[in-house]
């Protein structure tokens, strides 16, 4: 039961080795069950018993034996309310324009995937994708065409990636992708395939045809030696800005050992998350834009 995801649960108060409210408290502490309505069935009708059941997390309370019509009505009501809550949670986790995961939802999944990679010693890759000259697209073609390009790009990414990969809108014209169990060579190949797949495609509409390219920075860690999410993203961010400075429309792989050595040489602990856009003795690791349109 704890591993399933039913629409509702009927739980009796009288159990062989426990009371329903005790089990209910354990269930509602489980994140996979906390949103499932649980209806408590009991022969008790004392107000303090009802209060105890509701305080333990019960959605509703019915006396045994329940009337068949009342039971069906209360179950339907519980399922209907759960469906509304599920939809609200879905909307809260999605980017309204593209329908992809939003940044917060992605970061929650990223933490879970990183923990899994560490636990089982698996490879892991992350990529940040940034649409080249997006400000210019908005200024010349209009924001509606810019939005259309972002929607079509999100669909292109979703179609082209594996089911286990996760893509989200990271902000503005940036997207972020996690690639579990992916080695560096495979990750760069995947990103280059995504990039080359954008050629000869109209990313606008019939009235405003548009060519779009992107630059990407990829950060990979092997054998489960995965840092926290902040460091992983910073590595990819450095690689992205290197791709921008080298002419855009390209994929760059973060040099894990070199970046870690550079940061540690400056007295920065790369194991707890750092801002790599700081001045160091060897220069600025994240280059400043050379003009306002560098995007």
Q: Are 11 and 41 in contact (CB under 8 A)?
A: yes
Mean pLDDT score across all residues of the chain = 80
CATH class of the domain defined by 9-92: alpha beta
CA distance 248 to 246: 6
Answer whether residue 4 shows pLDDT above 80: no
The CATH superfamily assigned to 103-265 is Reverse transcriptase/Diguanylate cyclase domain (3.30.70.270)
Q: What is the mean pLDDT of residues 4-18?
A: 74
Distance CA 223, CA 124 (A): 8
> Per the omega criterion (within 30 degrees of 0), is the bond before 65 cis?
yes
Q: Are 220 and 114 in contact (CB under 8 A)?
A: no
Percent of the chain scoring above 70 in pLDDT: 81
CB atoms within 10 A of CB 160: 13
Q: Is pLDDT at 266 greater than 70 in this prediction?
A: no
Length of the chain: 295
* Lowest model confidence (mean pLDDT) among 71-85, 152-166, 169-183: 71-85
151 has pLDDT over 80: yes
Q: Which residues pair with 218 in a beta bridge?
A: 127, 253
More confident of the two residues 249 and 294: 249
pLDDT at 199: 85
Active site residue 173: yes
Give the residue, 282 or 123, on which the prediction is more confident: 123
Element (H, E) at 62: strand 60-63
What is the average pLDDT across 72-85? 87
Instruction: Answer with the residue of higher pLDDT: 95 or 277.
Output: 95
Q: Which of 34, 70, 173, 207 is catalytic?
A: 173
Domain ranges of the chain: 9-92, 103-265
Enumerate the β-bridge partners of residue 9. 38
Q: 260 vs 75, which has greater pLDDT?
A: 75
Query: One fold for both 9-92 and 103-265?
Result: no
As a whole-number percent, the residues of the chain with pLDDT over 90 amount to 39
Greater confidence (201 vs 147) lies with 147
- Tell me: the pLDDT tens digits for 206-234? 888 888 999 999 998 877 666 788 889 99
């Amino acid at each position: 039961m704890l591993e399933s995801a039913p629409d509702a649960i009927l739980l009796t108060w009288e159990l062989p080795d426990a009371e329903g409210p005790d089990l209910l408290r354990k269930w509602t502490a489980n994140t996979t069950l906390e949103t499932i309505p649980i209806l408590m069935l009991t022969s008790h009708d004392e107000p303090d018993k009802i209060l105890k059941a509701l305080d333990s997390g019960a959605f509703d309370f019915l006396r045994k034996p329940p009337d068949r019509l009342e039971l069906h009505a209360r179950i339907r009501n519980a399922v209907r309310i759960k469906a509304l809550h599920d939809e609200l949670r879905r909307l809260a986790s999605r980017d309204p324009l593209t329908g992809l995961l939003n940044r917060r939802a992605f970061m929650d999944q990223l933490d879970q995937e990183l923990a899994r990679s560490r636990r089982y010693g698996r490879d892991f890759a992350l990529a940040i994708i940034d649409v080249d000259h997006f400000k210019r697209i908005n200024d010349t073609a209009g924001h509606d065409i810019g939005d259309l390009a972002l929607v079509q790009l999100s669909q292109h990414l979703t179609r082209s990636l594996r089911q286990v990969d996760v893509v989200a809108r990271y902000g503005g014209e940036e997207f972020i992708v996690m690639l579990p169990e992916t080695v560096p060579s495979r990750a760069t190949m995947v990103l280059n395939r995504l990039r080359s797949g954008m050629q000869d495609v109209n990313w606008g509409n019939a009235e405003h045809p548009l060519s779009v390219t992107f630059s990407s920075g990829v950060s990979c860690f092997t054998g489960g030696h995965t840092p926290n999410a902040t460091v992983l993203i910073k590595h990819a961010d450095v690689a992205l800005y290197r791709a921008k400075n080298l002419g855009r429309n390209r994929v760059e792989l973060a040099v894990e050992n070199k970046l870690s050595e550079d940061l540690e040489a400056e007295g920065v602990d790369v194991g707890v998350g750092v801002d790599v856009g700081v001045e160091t003795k060897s220069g600025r690791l994240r280059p400043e834009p050379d003009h306002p349109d560098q995007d």
